[in-house]
Each structure stands twice: as structure tokens, then as C-alpha cells.
Amino acid sequence: MAHIFAVFLALSTFSAGVIWCIHRVKIVQYRCRINRKGQRKGIQTIRGREKDGWIENIASVFPVLLIVFIVRSFIFEPFHIPSGSMIPTLLIGDFILVEKYAYGLRDPITNTILVNTGNPQRGDIVVFQYPKNRRQDYIKRVIGLPGDRVDYNPITKTLSILSSCDNHQNCNSSIPVIYSNVRKYNQILTGFSSNTSDNMLDKSLLNDSSLEESHVGICNETIGHVSHNIVLSDWEQSNLRSIYQGSEAVTRSWLVPDNMYFVMGDNRDNSSDSRIWGFVSEDHLIGKAVVIWMSMDKQEGKWPTGLTFSRTGIIQ
């Protein structure tokens, strides 16, 4: 839907721009004609008649469309969070702004890089076109950069990252990954906290069907100098369990190719990400999620029941 809207906005802006140019040319022609006749009163008459026309109405919308097109295509674009794969950082019903120029100024239709302005870093939360269907937009956290080797143990649910690798064996350095501050939920049946943000988090966990009747914990994960919270479920309740059947005790490894990125959801055991469908190509990137500007109390697939601005702020 977002891509259809981008095409519609581009066509609408272009069409309005053409009509605006035609309108301006007609005004200049009228002025020249009346000036030649020396009938200054006629100018006012013609101007008044033009303002009532449909061309004048469409032309007047062009500056607004142009501003919206520039801002949405190259600066910021709004998105909403429809699922719980990024809990606890982003909750179902959050509305975010994505910085479009963070990873290059791109053609709004083809997503081709026009001007390179930067690359994703470990810990960035990125919006990208789903590799298996570019019409869908996904949001995940960048874990591995080009040349990294990412190891993930599905039992201990821990990561290890080696950088500057030319193959799975030869890597130059290790990126420290630290887990701390574990907060446990017992079947998510405890009462909600008095803090509004924690209250929404508790409700999101409670309303996430993938976590029903499970034991979960929230802990802090630090990758290098970037810290964020993640949700971990019991192995028996993990939606990813079927993927690791037959190799449950085996650590999985991925070597990130050039111009590719390894991404994961913060809801680690209930996220469809690079562990399942592979890497994200650089030309699939849309931008960096930077701000929550509004949040709704909402369950996945249902209508919102409330509105809050308490979660507004910079995304960590």
C-alpha cells in the first residue's frame, strides 16, 4: 500500500505541477495582452474569472503536494507498527517516523540510491522492503554488517558477532555482546504496573497471541556500544522452535555478504527475520526509525481501544 501511495503521490504532484505551469503561462499571456491594450481594469476582471476555474483550484494545490512529496520521499515518512515482532522497543499500535535520508537519498519509486549519505550501523532499527516481496515493508534491528559472522544459539538465546571476516574461520575481531537486567514474567498473568509505558508493554505482551501461556523475560542486550531491551520466551513456546528441530543444540552461523545486512526482531523468539529468510540487501533499505510520535492501545488485527502520547520520543 505504501508503494502504491508513493506512485499516486508522484503522479498527482507531477500532474498538478504541469497544470500549475500552464496556469502561470496563461496568466502571463493575459497580462501581456491587457497591458498592450492599456486596460488595467480588465486585468482584475480576468484574474477574478481565473480564480473561479478548475485550473486555478488544481494549480493552488501544487505547492502543498510538492512539499508533501519532498518531505515524504526524501526526509521523513510515517509508519505504524502492526505486529509484535519488535516488542518491547516498539509496541503494536505505535506510530513512528522513519528518516529517509539516513542511508541515501533514493528514488521514491524504484528505491535506487541517488546520493549516498550513510550506511546502517549495528543496533539501528531499519525499515526495509521484505526480500521475498518488495511490496511489503518490514522493520527490524540491524545485528550484522557486511563481513560479520553472526552466531546464534537457539537454546541459550545468545548472540556472538565476529567482524571483518573473509570466511567463516578467518575474522579479525570480536564484537562484545552482553546480556543483563533480566525481568521475568510468570505466564504474563501478573498485574499491570502503574507506569503508563510499562502498562502498555504489559498489555502488549498479554495480548500477543504468540506469547500466550508462556514464560517470558525481558533483558538488556548490549552489542558494542548500543544497548536495547529484548523479549525471550521459553524454548517450548518459541515460534522458531520448528525451524531448529533436529539441530536444537547447534549454534547457527551466518556470514554476512557485501552490501547485505543481518537483522533480527527484538521479540527474539517470535520474529520472522534473517534467521528464517536471509539477509537484507542495501537496495531494499527505506530508512532508519527514529521517533515514536503517537501510540494506540491496540491488539494485533483488532481496532484500537485508546490513544496515548506517553510513549512519544526518540527510539533507542
Active site residues: 85, 140
Cell of 134: 518488495
SS3 content of the chain, % helix, strand, coil (to 5): 30, 35, 35
Give CA separation, 121 vs 21, 150, 163, in Å: 43, 15, 13
Cell of 114: 541517488
Cell of 160: 556472538
Give CA separation, 147 vs 169, 198, 236, 284, in Å: 12, 37, 33, 18
Q: Determine the Cα–Cα distance for residues 287 and 76; give it in Å rounded to an integer.
A: 9
Q: Determine the Cα–Cα distance for residues 152 and 275; give it in Å rounded to an integer.
A: 9
**Three-state DSSP string of 145-167:** CCCCEEEEECCCCEEEEEEEECC
Provide the sign of the torsion angle of the four alpha carbons 253, 255, 256, 257, taken in this order. Answer: negative
Q: Determine the Cα–Cα distance for residues 61 and 122; give it in Å rounded to an integer.
A: 42
- Eight-class DSSP state of 94: E
Q: Determine the Cα–Cα distance for residues 36 and 81; give it in Å rounded to an integer.
A: 61
Backbone dihedral angles phi then psi of residue 206, each to the nearest 5 degrees: -65, -35
